[in-house]
Each structure stands twice: as C-alpha cells, then as structure tokens.
Amino acid sequence: MIPGSFPPKAEIARLTARMLLEVGAVHFNAAEPFTLASGLPSPTYIDCRKLISFPRIRATLMDFMAATVMREAGFEAFDNIAGGETAGIPFAALVAERLALPMSYVRKKPKGYGRNARIEGVMTPGQRVLLVEDLTTDGGSKLSFVEAIRETGAVCAHTAVIFYYGIFPETLDRLAQQGIALHHLCTWWDVLAEARESGGFERATLDEVESFLSAPRPWQAARSRD
C-alpha cells in the first residue's frame, strides 16, 4: 500500500536512527576499531540486514523510503524497482510492493552459467529503474549496479538507501557525475545525535566517534596498520 502520510525529512532521519539503535544494528568501538571492507579502520559499524527480522520497524522504514522517493523524485517517476545483491533485495521487494511496481534484482557479477545474467526478473529497455540498497558509503557499488541496469537499455538515475554514511563529501559528486541522485533516510550524524540523546553509550566513546565522523580519512590514516 502506498503510504498516505509524509513525515518531515528531519523526523524520518531521527526515527530511523532510533530504530537502528533499538535493534542493535549500530556498533561503536573506539578502543578496538572495526575493519571495513576497504581494509581501513572505523570506530563505527552498521548492519542494516538486521532490520528484516523486525516486522514493525521494517514496515515503518519501507513506508519512509517510499514516501522519500516519491517526494524527492516524483510520484510517477519509476517503472521498476531493482535491488542490489544481496542486502538490497528484500528492501527492493518491500518498496516495490508499496509502489505497486515490478521488482528485479542485480547481481554483483554474472553468475557464470546459463544466461550469465546480472539482472534477474524482467527489465526492459526504456524502463525507469530505482536501485534500492541497504546503505552506501562512497557510492562505488551503486555505480556497478547502475551500469548493469543501463546495459539492458533501461534508465537508472536514482538510488535509495536506508543509511548513507554522510561523511565522505566526494560520494554525492561521484554519483552525480554519472547522473545518479541519492535518496536516504538517515546518516551517521543522525545516529550520533540519537545515541547521545539515548544516554546508552559512554561519552568518551561518542566523542571519539564524532572525531572520526568529522575527519574520517585522517582518523583512519592515523590508525591504519602498515
């Protein structure tokens, strides 16, 4: 069902951050930083995949996402909702259901047999496709998925995520250069604000997280192992 209400963007961000904290999707550890996929250290880690196990929260977030893309991109802006393998697939299905649109998904790489396809489902030339994923850091994986979508002759100028890091200024420019607009529900800054409000974390930990968010590259360089 298409959402009938449209909370202000700031309220969506605050509530999304609260839900991520409530389900334990957010992890802070300044003393022993996490290692990201890039190999770089971070005092923060987020696991949006947990959200699929919480029906009330996932339903609310998907209402938020549907409302966000309709408000920012248009009510009749899309013909197909595509999920990125693997985390984006369930969220794409839920958004497609709300917008009453076909759903497909994009593999990270061709499966290596049969049709050797990267697109699963039906996607046709000229369709306007919204790429849905759980999160984005620097936008790199989005470019690969969009390239696969565009190779079918479909049009992909928008991607929507639950969580956007919001700390790497080059991300939006990187996507914009490829004609892609990013829509998101909240960022690390929203999560940090809600974490401080909750009182559930030590102040010193959150201060170190803020130090990282304010200057992530220098923070990582100072702590990277040779």
The greatest distance separating any two alpha carbons of the chain, rounded to the nearest whole angstrom, comes to 54
Q: Is residue 82 part of a domain?
A: yes
Residue 225: pLDDT band with limits 50, 70, 90: low
Q: Is residue 130 part of a domain?
A: yes
Q: What CATH number does residue 169 fall under?
A: 3.40.50.2020
Q: Is residue 153 part of a domain?
A: yes
Q: Is the dihedral of CA 170, 212, 135, 141 positive or negative?
A: positive
Q: Is residue 98 part of a domain?
A: yes
Q: What is the pLDDT of residue 113?
A: 62
User: Residue 212 sits in which domain range?
Assistant: 9-223
Q: Is residue 134 part of a domain?
A: yes
pLDDT: which is higher, 138 or 82: 82
Sheet of strand 181-187, all strands in order from the earlier edge strand to the far edge: 119-120, 103-106, 80-84, 128-136, 155-164, 181-187
Q: What is the pLDDT of residue 1?
A: 60
Q: Is residue 1 part of a domain?
A: no
Residue 39: pLDDT band with limits 50, 70, 90: confident
Count of structural domains within the chain: 1
Q: Is residue 171 part of a domain?
A: yes
Q: Is residue 4 part of a domain?
A: no
Q: What is the pLDDT of residue 226?
A: 45
pLDDT: which is higher, 106 or 1: 106
pLDDT digits (tens, 9 = 90+) for 143-178: 999 999 999 999 999 999 999 999 988 999 999 999
